[in-house]
Amino acid sequence: MQPGLFLGYVGLTQNLIAAIPVQDSTGTPKDPPIAPNYRIYNGENVMSNGTGTLAKLDVQNVTAASNATPIRITTGSDHNLQTGNRVIIVDVLGNTAANGEFTITRISATEFDLDGSVGSGTYDSGGVIHVAGLYSITHNIVGGDGFEAGKVYDLLVTFTISAVVYSQVHKFQVV
């Protein structure tokens, strides 16, 4: 599991923008059932308006899911994924066996196979692909919430996977 990160520098009135990896105890990237939460501390207290929820990063749409073994996913544009990457697919209608967590095998820029999958029907519509465990934070840093230039703040990220609560602490500096 990746240890705490230094997320970089952010100016007052700017957005803190950072990618946060979410993994279980084996280091496997996971999408928790409930999106990870975050809290920002100044070393003593939670900052005013300093809480929120992480958003999924790297999300794209499915345009086809073959009724085959394994299921071949087609995307409308370059999916930019490689063999071995883990993805979470939801909301596929028709070929619902394409929904779930998979390791992929890249076929082309717009196709990849879901390892170990078996098609369950003809693809109807829908489907969203997310790179497993890849989240991001966007938080507006304003002086009115108590942020001060020159200070380093802690970002606590918490999430639950299979009834186990995980926590990460990252840092950033306001400039």
Partner 1 sequence: MFFGRYTQGQFVMIEVVAVDGNNVAFSPATAAFFKVYDSGGSTLFSSLMVPLDKSGATGLFSFPLRLDASYPVGQYNVSLMYDSFLQAGGFEVVGGGDQDGAVISQHHYERPQSANLVQRLDSDQRILGRNPGV
> Which residues are at the interface with partner 1 (CB under 8 A)?
1-3, 5-10, 15, 17-21, 23, 25-29, 55, 57-59, 80, 82-86, 103, 131-134, 136, 138
CB of 59 to partner 1, least distance (A): 7
CB-based contact 65:75 (threshold 8 Å): no
3-state SS assignment for residue 107: strand
> By C-beta, is 7 or 161 nearer to partner 1?
7
Phi, psi of 143 (to 5 degrees): -65, -30
> By C-beta, is 8 or 76 nearer to partner 1?
8
143/6 Cα distance (integer angstroms): 21
Residue 162 Cα to chain centre, angstroms: 17
3-state SS assignment for residue 86: strand
Cis link prior to 70 (omega < 30° from 0)?
yes
CB of 133 to partner 1, least distance (A): 5
> By C-beta, is 121 or 166 nearer to partner 1?
166
CB of 108 to partner 1, least distance (A): 14
> By C-beta, is 5 or 46 nearer to partner 1?
5
Residue 62's CB: how many other CB atoms inside 10 A?
24
CA–CA distances in Å: residue 12 to residues 60, 148, 151: 32, 7, 11
CB of 121 to partner 1, least distance (A): 27
> By C-beta, is 18 or 97 nearer to partner 1?
18
Residue 59's CB: how many other CB atoms inside 10 A?
12
CB of 169 to partner 1, least distance (A): 15
